[in-house]
Structure 1
């Protein structure tokens, strides 16, 4: 399929992407936190992938290559929109009251992590990638990946034990 797609066969490329669409959408949604933005990121990812399909050497790496494009695209969107998101979050926090019975969702807690921790946690536990695969995907040393996974899990544990956020405020 990959060879056909690299020769310009649109149907072959579409089939390759079709096989990955659920994983792409789930990962984009975790980063973007809403359906429209997640779909925009997936669409942009597919466009970028189509434009650079010839850079994939073997079909076994297509999924990882595509996921790397998606992560970079999602992070790019988040950076572009960071001021808007922060302002929206501030307004939401000011207008919301919490009670002690509310429980934090794990995905929300993951969303509160620093990007370097969030990315490795998602790749390891949601995409089932090995430490070595994550290191290759992100161009990090394996030791850095292990450290980031460990620190991310520590922050998650701390967040979930303190009522659901990373700053120690109780709900």
Structure 2
């Protein structure tokens, strides 16, 4: 298995070793995204494992090989949301999240990250999802729309509304009304 481009077609044809190699390449970012949703290691691992299982069972339905990463990320998002709904879980903010994930190299200290993550935690799921995919995972609006199976306009609206909500929640601490921007 020297050539990555061969892994997806081989996995689609039922090659378990090729599928394993693909998942090995994706595992870190999938786990991190699961952790952001679930906020604890055990639930994140459960979502990750369920995602791998679902992807393995349905790999033959993947239509475009170049979108494997997007496809498996979409499975993870839907699995995490379903898991949260199933458990009817209100996710308390956990400070250890800061130890696991830095919001960005340009961000200030841990206090700013804590405030941002607390504000993100209070957003509706649809806004949190698009903001995580756009700003944490660096997906384009088009890619997010494909993952969530919704129009690009809806994604743009959710990003705008999510950012507006974040601004309201951060007002006074890191939001400057005069410049209408985050500090």
- Please classify the TM superposition score into its range, dividing by the shorter chain length: 0.7 to 0.9
Once the two structures are superposed, the pairs formed by residues 1-171 of structure 1 within 5 Å of their partners are 1-82=7-88, 85-86=89-90, 104-161=114-171
- Deviation at residue 55 of structure 1 after TM alignment: 0.9
How far off is 1:109 after superposition?
2.1
Q: 2:55, 2:115 → 1: CA distance?
A: 32
> In terms of mean alpha carbon deviation, does 48-57 or 2-11 score higher?
2-11
Q: Which deviations, in whole Å up to 9, do the C-alpha atoms of 1:74-114 show, x marking residues without a partner?
A: 000000111xx34x85xxxxxxxxxxxx7634233212210
Aligned alpha-carbon RMSD (Å): 1.8
Relative distance call for 1:23 and 1:140 in structure 2 (3 A) is: same
* Structure 1 unaligned blocks of 5 or more: 90-101, 165-171
Change (3 A) 1:40 1:163: farther
CA–CA separation in structure 2 for the residues paired with 1:130 and 1:71: 16
Distance (whole Å) between structure 2 residues aligned to residue 33 and residue 132 of structure 1: 27
**Distance of 1:163 and 1:44 partners within structure 2:** 39
Q: Which has the higher relative contact order, 1 or 2, with Cα contacts under 8 A spaced 6 or more apart?
A: 1
Could you say which residue in structure 1 is the equivalent of 2:105?
A: none
Q: Deviations over 1:103-155 (max 9, x none)?
A: 63423321221011011001111111111111111111111111100110111
TM-score between both structures, scaled by the size of structure 1: 0.81
When the two structures are aligned, how many residues end up with a matched partner? Answer: 149
